[in-house]
Chain A
Amino acid sequence: MTRLASFDDLVKRRGEIAAGRGPNRATLVLGDGTCGRASGSSEVRAALSEAISSLDTEKRLAFRTTGCHGFCQIEPNVQVLPDETLYVHVKPENAQSIVDAALSGKVLKNLTFKDGQKNSCAKITDVPFYKRQMRLLSGLNVYVDPLRIEDYIAIDGYQALAKALFTMTPDFVVEEVIKANLRGRGGGGFPAGWKWDSVRKAEGETKYVVCNADEGDPGAYMDRSLLEGNPHLVIEGMLIGAFAIGSHEGYVYVRNEYPLAVQNLNVALDQAREHGLLGKNILGSGFDFDIRINRGGGAFVCGESSALMQSIEGRPGEPIPKYVHMSERGLYDKPTNLNNVETWANVPFIVNRGADWYRTIGTEGSKGTKIFSLVGNINNTGQVEVPMGISLREIVEGIGGGIPNRRKFKAVQTGGPSGGCLPADCLDVPVDFDQLTKLGSMMGSGGMIVMDEDSCMVDVARYFTNFLVEESCGKCVPCREGVMQLRDILNDITQGRGREGDVELMEDLSKVVIDCSLCALGQSAPNPLLTTIRYFRDEYVAHIHDKKCPARRCTALISLRIDAENCTGCALCKKQCPTVAIAGEKKKTHAIDPEKCIRCGACYEVCKFDAVIKE
């Protein structure tokens, strides 16, 4: 019988699962999340399945497909447990040798990760990317096939829920979460325990628990990795929260752009229900709770809590001015507790190991770990989980491995469109909820986009401001009109039409947008612009005064020409040119006609001889 009807049943089931797995069993683990599939993991999966199926080794060698393992750069990747061997850039043709090596306890040197000095890092713990991380939450992905609840139960899954239901009172659970100082991981950093407490104490029988999986910050995908890879962790967190608050209905609002997360979450919810871990009379405790999934419609603004709830209610995602807290009047005007995916995922750890243990990680004001999405112009791209308080430099250089192609670090953008760009001088700042805010940026949901010297900071400001114009709901004057005007001026500046006084005008207008906007989208919209003015003012001066783009990025302010010395006349650039602006005979120096050139950069990208010069 699948259904678990007591704490004992859960413990027994865990034992049965462990017994069914040979103690010396090796496991091949393939990362098969969205990143994996985009890199070709589906073909590797098929090849490995075939290679293993031809062996009679269910007890000696197992094969597990999972979500993200974090080091997205090197996908498709296969780990061999329990040895913790890591194979990178795996191809289908490697499948047989990987299987053979696992069975004979060997390591395939040609597939291991090579560090900067070309040393082979066979074990995960040797890999610089993983060495300095503390993969408390994300590390579990390797042990769990998201489509098999047995895997989650095997690693003490739902133990925290049982502990809460049968050995704790709701009040005690809330107190533990307050004591742990779990702060919201979605960007706000508000103490989750206080929120839970307000909702618990609010009047009314019907209360809602909501998970914000909208994750709109471009460049941030921590929540996707968690939901795709270990949906049960989030479900368990919500169950514990619901128990503590006194809620029986929950929603997970997932953005539409994450189809695999929706799929895996659906399967997990069904399996949890089958096992008596969700729905009526959970584990025989008498507590009822169930979860519904709402897909977003493609709107960044729906990450804002009031807009999210409007969306669940079937309306356009327009934030509403709220001076009465969500904890009193939220979804359908009922007390509602909304938390981010990563916040919920921390809860089972706090209940299992206690608030005192949790407080040993992180800084005074920021406890626990944080998952960051380290992307952009960086060597080691991926999902990084570290204790809070670690410095930006450690993340960018120690874990990220610095900037590729021998370029120099210029800035790191944190906090998404509500955050800002910090220069090299700020690299030693500890990363937590409060330190980055002092510098004008914010930690936000965890997006960390590294930019090298080829990035134009004025263009970055223009990019974010334009993004916000497109995502604004358009209801209130300061955001709809104000951010749009900022975008138009930035367009002018990047296209060579900047005027004296533009920077001062944008600074003045920004203050009004921050002061008067209805919601946090508008209130934080000028942040990218203001931080780039604060730290990179000279670039604005160059664009406006000299009509030059120092990073040679803004197409209207650069020109492309071919260097006769390096040009071999291979005509690759001529083939790519969309406006037939390049002329030249075979094996003879080519030339660009500046009148026809639209500076799309195709020639620059395709030239193998560094013969195209950007000026």
Chain B
Amino acid sequence: MNFKEHTLTIDGRSITVKRDTLLIEACKKLRIEVPTLCHNENLKPYGVCRFCQVEVNEGKRTRLVPSCVYEIRKDGLTVTTDSERIRNNRKWLIQLLLARCDRQKDVLDFAAKYGVAPVERLTKKNDDCILCGQCVRACGEIVGVGAIGYERRGEKREVTSPYRDQNPVCIACGTCVYVCPTHCIAMTEENGVRTISRYAGEKKMVVREAKMLTCGKCGNYFLPSSVAEVFAKKMGIDPTVFTCPSCR
């Protein structure tokens, strides 16, 4: 097996890592924080928010690379994580997101953190999704059902369920809700039914309405039966024996 290692310099500090280590991980090891919006350690790198771009000098030239997808495969790289150029780019990226999600709290907080104000001249859109793709990727890679995906392309690109209808393969586990950085996927529970939904344009799009299972002991609702079935299948048992956390 190939356990080759490479040594590189990040912001003047040296570090040795295993070959194919992601540059953002190398930065993390040195406790250098690189901002990202689409990166999630549990998911395959996506590289679309472009916030994690850093300057890399590979010997001949310096170029900007997204550190979340760049694999270290050479010796002697020199990396700069903060510069005038990087800061200017990030400022503009935030301004573009502010124009897209001009009222969304998480985006406004993110902008405030970097001291960036909106550009009045840009076209405003009251969207709540930044298209980081974490929900789609988590559903596909971790949960494994791929209940939601993208629709169309370019400025019309959106995250939806197929045909914007309920998708029976969704198990209402709520993973997409948890990973979303702008909290734009909603999960509600009412009258024994859990609903996963979000807004598509002005209309509410329901991804799944799933009946909740009641606890065998106390009779309270605690888990969608669809999720219980998945676990039960994997463990080879009857799903109705599950009890809620308080009764365990």
Tell me the bound Cα distance from A474 to B156 in angstroms.
8
| With known contacts A321-B47, A481-B97, A485-B122, A473–B153 Cβ distance under 8 A | yes
Cα-based distance from A485 to B96 in the complex (angstroms):
8
Task: Identify the interface centre among A477, A478, A512: most chain B CB within 10 Å of its CB.
Answer: A477
Chain A residues near B123 (CB-CB < 8 A): 484-485, 488
Establish whether residues A478 and B96, one from each chain, have CB atoms under 8 Å apart when the complex forms: yes
**A309-323 vs B: 1/0 string, CB under 8 Å?**
000000010101101
Cβ-defined contact, A518 with B47, below 8 A: yes
Q: How far is the CB of A326 from chain B (nearest CB, A)?
A: 15
A480 to B154, CA, bound (A): 6
A299 touches which of B69, B153, B157 (Cβ 8 Å): B153
- Chain B minimum-CB-distance residue to A301: B153
Q: Is the CB of A515 within 8 A of B153?
A: no
A472 to B157, CA, bound (A): 10
A499 close to B (CB within 8 Å) = yes
Most interface-central of A299, A499, A502, A516 (chain B CB within 10 A): A516
* Least distance between B242 CB and chain A CB atoms (Å): 38
A476 adjacent to chain B (CB < 8 Å): yes
Q: Whole-angstrom distance between the alpha carbons of A515 and B156 in the complex?
A: 23
B121 touches A489 (CB 8 A): yes
A472 to B93, CA, bound (A): 17
Expressed in whole angstroms, the Cα–Cα distance for A477 and B89 within the complex equals 11
With an 8 Å Cβ cutoff, the count of chain A residues facing the other chain is 36
Chain A residues with CB under 8 Å of B119's CB are 505
**If A474-B157, A475-B48, A477-B93 touch, does A321 touch B66 (CB 8 Å cutoff)?**
yes
- B53-101, CB < 8 A from A: 53, 64-66, 69-71, 73, 85, 88-89, 92-93, 96-97, 99-100
In the bound complex, how far is the Cα of B71 from the Cα of A480, in angstroms? 25
Judged by a CB distance under 8 angstroms, whether A469 is at the interface is: yes
* Cα separation A478 to B48 with both chains bound (whole Å): 9
Give the complex CA separation of A481 and B156 in angstroms.
11
Chain A residues, Cβ within 8 Å of B122: 485, 488
Query: Hey, which chain B residues are within 8 Å of A482, CB to CB?
Result: 92, 96
Min CB–CB distance B188 → chain A (angstroms): 29
Instruction: List residues of chain A with CB within 8 A of the CB of B114.
Output: none
Q: Which of B50, B89, B99 contacts A476 (CB 8 A)?
A: B50
Shortest distance between the CB of A270 and any CB in chain B (Å):
35
- Contact assessment for A477 and B49 in the assembled complex, using a CB-CB cutoff below 8 Å: yes
B41 interfacial by beta-carbon distance below 8 Å: no
Interface residues of A in 478-537 (CB under 8 A from B): 478, 480-482, 484-485, 488-489, 499, 501-502, 505, 508-509, 512, 515-518
**How far is A254 from B133 in the complex, measured between Cα atoms in Å?**
30
Bound-complex Cα distance A509 to B71 (A): 29
Partner of B121, one of A320, A324, A499: A499
What would be 6 A-B contacts, judged by CB atoms less than 8 Å apart?
A323-B69, A477-B96, A481-B97, A488-B123, A489-B121, A516-B93
Q: Other CB < 8 Å A-B pairs besides A474-B154, A489-B121, A512-B93, 12 of them?
A: A321-B45, A321-B69, A323-B69, A324-B71, A474-B131, A475-B157, A476-B50, A477-B49, A477-B130, A480-B157, A512-B88, A512-B92
Chain A contacts to B: CB under 8 angstroms: 299, 301, 316, 318, 320-321, 323-324, 469-478, 480-482, 484-485, 488-489, 499, 501-502, 505, 508-509, 512, 515-518
